[in-house]
Structures are given as structure tokens and as C-alpha cells.
Amino acid sequence: MADLSSYKFTKTHEWVRRDGDTAEVGITDHAQSQLGDVIFLDLPEVGAELVAGERFGTIESVKAASELYAPVSGTVSEINPALGSTPEAVNQAPYTDGWMLRLSAVAEGSAELLDEAAYKELAGE
């Protein structure tokens, strides 16, 4: 299990790891477990502006399609290039290889974020 002390979590099961004004975004292990086999991700393009709390994409598993919500505001600087051909990385390593977006110019404000302990309580773990 990854060390999650530097991660923050949304109530909609995304995670964000901030480093100065950059950040990395993905979904939690609980989320990937609930979704099951991830098949397809509809993610914004590089340069897109994310707004904290607003929808930024869709993740689709065999079971269902789910919306993705931005934990923070910022500009998309990189999209995980591996997820196009191997979206199962989200299942296998949601906190590391399964990252979705990298952001730059991350703003100070954010959606309501939980720390690891609070998120685990929310997820019932």
C-alpha cells in the first residue's frame, strides 16, 4: 500500500497530491474497487482549466460510467499517456501508475478535502 500521508481526498473519491503549485490527480483504491475493471477514461486535454468541485471527465468500467470531479483548480499540464492503452493501471495501482492528470498553476482554494483517516472513515474502511 502506498504511503498516503501526502494525499488528500474528495468525498467523490478522487485523490490529489499537491507539490507547491503543481498537483497530481487520480481516484482512490476504494473507488477503483467499487468500479471494477476500468475500460475507458474520458479526460480533458492538456491546457484545459479545472475548477475545484466541478466535473472534469468520465471513467468507465464494465459495470458503469462515473463522473470525475476536480479536487483543486488548475491547468492540465500532462495526461497519463499509459491509460489510453492500459486503463487497468487505475485498478492495479490507483495511487501511483494509475494517476490521471498532472496540473500546473494550482490555485489556493479547493473542494472540501479529507485527510487519509477521514477518507477511510467515509469509505467505511
Partner 1 sequence: MTTEQAIRHTPLYERHLALGGAMVPFAGYSMPQQYTGIREEHTAVRQRAGMFDISHMGEVMLTGPGAEATLQLLCANDVSRLEDGQALYGVMCNENGGIVDDIIVYRDSATEFMVVINAACRDGDIAWMRDHLGEATEFVDISDATALIAVQGPRAVAIVDAICDADLTALDTFHCTQGSVAGIAARISRTGYTGEDGVELYVAADDAVAVWDSVLTAGAGEGLVACGLGARDTLRLEAGLRLYGQDMDITNDPISSAIGWTVKLDKGVDCIGATALRAIDRKAPPQRFVGLEFEGRSIARHGQRVISAGSDAGEITSGTFSFTLGRGIATARIRGDADPSDLAVDIRGTVTAARTVALPFYRRPALQETTRG
Residue 87 touching partner 1 (CB under 8 A): yes
Q: Which of 49, 78, 88, 116 binds partner 1 (CB under 8 A)?
A: 88
Number of residues that bind partner 1 (CB under 8 A): 12
Q: Which residues pair with 38 in a beta bridge?
A: 61
Among 66, 57, 60, 56, which residue's Cα sits nearest to residue 40? 60
Beta carbon of residue 22, minimum distance to partner 1 (angstroms, whole number): 29
Asked whether position 40 contacts partner 1 by CB under 8 A, the answer is yes
Q: Tell me whether residue 1 or residue 62 sits nearer to partner 1 (CB atom).
A: 62
Residues 114, 116, 119, CA angle at the centre, nearest 5°? 55
In whole angstroms, how close is the CB of 56 to partner 1 at the nearest point?
15
Contacts with 40 (C-beta within 8 Å, 6 or more apart), sequence order: 59, 60, 87
* Residue 30 CA, distance from chain mean position: 12
Contact criterion met (CB below 8 Å) for 14 and 69: yes
Considering the complex, state which of residue 36 and residue 109 has its C-beta at the smaller distance from partner 1.
Answer: 36
The DSSP bridge partners found for residue 92 are: none
Of 22-30, 55-63, 93-101, 107-115, the segment contacting partner 1 by CB under 8 A is 55-63
- The residues of the shown chain that bind partner 1, judged by CB under 8 A, are 36-37, 39-40, 58, 60, 62-63, 65, 87-88, 91
